[in-house]
Amino acid sequence: MTVVTRFAPSPTGFLHIGGARTALFNWLYARHHGGTYLLRIEDTDRKRSTKEAIDAIVDGLDWLGLSPDGKVVYQSANTVRHAKIAQRLLDAGKAYHCYCSPEELAAMREEARTNGKPVRYNGYWRDRDPAEAPPGVPPVIRFRAPQDGNTVIEDLVQGTVTNANKHLDDMVILRADGTPTYMLSVVVDDNDMGVTHVIRGDDHLTNAYRQTQLYLALSWKPPAFGHIPLIHGSDNAKLSKRHGALGVEAYREMGYLPEALRNYLLRLGWGHGDDEIISTEQAIQWFDLNAVIRSPARFDFAKLDNLNGHYMRQAADSRLVELILPHLEKTLGHRLNEAGKSRLERGMEGLKERAKKTNNLIENARFYVINRPVPLDKKALIVLDSKGRQKVADILPLLSAAKNWEARVLEGLVRAYAEETGIKLGQVAQPLRAALTGSKTSPPIFEVMDVLGREESLGRLSDVTK
RNA sequence: GGCCCCGUCGUCUAGUGGCCUAGGACUCCAGGUUUUCAUCCUGGCAACGCGGGUUCGAGUCCCGCCGGGGUCACCA
């Protein structure tokens, strides 16, 4: 049997971090088994579905490298088929019309709640003669669920989970306006798409019972289920915006690399021994549902940052330049010429080691591409007091006389100077750094001079001696 | 409230009855390398929710309690 998985978000919001992980697990599972991974947009609720949300989901998936294998399926395109299936159930006596008004239903729930009874539809129309139907009330179609016995799910993550059928009520499968509800459409679509493995959030576990009943009523083979635990915030509550339930595009904007986010998400709720840094190839090879942790995990930015730092150091310099270029040009207010880009690329090795996110990179790279005179920040100003400026002035002629403008040569010159005058290297390096970069921290100062080039370096140094 | 699920360092996790004096990673702290910062290296703090069983032996199995979460729509 060929494995077919699917990621099925409802386009009512952006692709949030939990959804991204669900997509990842579906993708990984399909890849591991040499199967297919599909995307279905659950837009049966047209009122709440938006084009923007659909785009955000597709783009987010794309960015993460989790694009679907086939064409995107829109659930709303299948409503006729859904209604047909509902009719089939009705004809077979496995569903029935219910004429209860929303108000009646609300009252029913309210009463159950106040009496401390389970909140369920009471089956009022289940066995009632349709002839008693109130005139002019369009009915909904409810599924005639089995009332005895148990529904058992062999969940690939949760193990065997059982629920007594008496706990489940007769759900609405077709609304009064003829549109299908979620419960019906997922079953029909998953069946029609040949989905063999439904991997989704834990919050769907209770739905799985009802969906299984539906499959059985239709004489279809239910898929295998795998319900993965939800991601929680740092206070252990359901993930909300303030703990990182942001759209993946927000992570992108914050300066995270897709491979870092993927690695982080993979390790959140899944483990393979002591392995932490896991490549996509290895993940595909190792991933399976039985190693998914059954308890919810908390989202932790500190670990994501650490992982991101790792992948940044690993990333190609040219790619990083491409990534930060648009942002850099925006803060600069003008386009960068080739010389500027080349400086960035040559300086990137030293730059990327000092940044946790590409956002830090943008700030830290700025000094390489700004025009003289370099603005000095507060700390740089302190370093460049009269004494500091004097040091720069003292070294300036030495540097100007350098035969080759290379880091190693420059370092040799300055070290010799420090030794002769009996001062520590740091005491002269810091004023140079402040003058060259406008800041107290930067990549190694001789590397900076090398990248900046003779003319620019000398210019920046002489700027502070005036 | 009914039903379902979960419970190892602050966080992510390893652990499937003896290899556990509970391991790794992140964070934090202390050192070291270093021209700054960062990287890197060394070391340290830190956990089996509680109570009963079962067993020669329990983090690992069973029961109870406590705690946490999910779900109960003509939303998905």
pLDDT in tens, A303-345: 999 999 999 999 999 999 999 999 999 999 999 999 999 999 9
* Strand B proximal residues, A:357-396, Cβ < 7 Å: none
Q: Is the pLDDT of residue A64 over 70?
A: yes
Cβ(A439)–Cβ(A433) under 8 Å? yes
Nucleotides of B under 7 A from a protein CB: 1-8, 10-15, 23-27, 35-40, 68-76
Of the candidates A241, A303, A330, A387, the residue annotated as catalytic is A241
pLDDT category at A399 given cuts 50, 70, 90 is very high
Six token digits for residue A114: 């106040």
> What values do phi and psi take at A386, rounded to 5?
-60, -35
pLDDT score recorded for residue A151: 93
Q: Could you confirm whether A241 is annotated as catalytic?
A: yes
Q: Is the pLDDT of residue A14 over 90?
A: no
pLDDT category at A246 given cuts 50, 70, 90 is confident
A170 CB contact with strand B at below 7 Å: no
The pLDDT mean for chain A works out to 92
pLDDT score recorded for residue A35: 97
A443 CB contact with strand B at below 7 Å: yes
State the nucleotide closest to A354 in CA–C1' terms: B38
d(CA A270, CA A228): 10
* Strand B proximal residues, A:268-327, Cβ < 7 Å: 268-271, 273-274, 276, 291, 293-298, 300, 302-303, 305-306, 309-310, 313
State the nucleotide closest to A234 in CA–C1' terms: B11
Q: Is the pLDDT of residue A241 over 60?
A: no
- DSSP tag of A243: G
Q: What is the mean pLDDT of residues A248-274?
A: 95
pLDDT score recorded for residue A465: 86
List the beta strands (DSSP E) in A16-131. 36-41, 73-74, 95-98
A166 CB contact with strand B at below 7 Å: no
A5 bridge partner residues:
A37, A197
Name the pTM for this structure: 0.93
Q: Please work out, in degrees rounded to the nearest 5, the angle formed at the alpha carbon of residue A310 by the alpha carbons of A306 and A314.
A: 165
A206 CB contact with strand B at below 7 Å: yes
Q: Which of A142, A210, A136, A138 is nearest to A173 (CA)?
A: A142
SS3 call for A369: helix
pLDDT score recorded for residue A239: 67
A109 CB contact with strand B at below 7 Å: yes
A164 bridge partner residues:
A150
pLDDT score recorded for residue A233: 76
A426 CB contact with strand B at below 7 Å: yes
Of the CA atoms within 13 Å of residue A33, those in its CB half-sphere come to 17
Q: Is the pLDDT of residue A360 over 80?
A: yes
Cβ(A424)–Cβ(A359) under 8 Å? no
A207 CB contact with strand B at below 7 Å: yes
Q: ipTM of this model?
A: 0.94
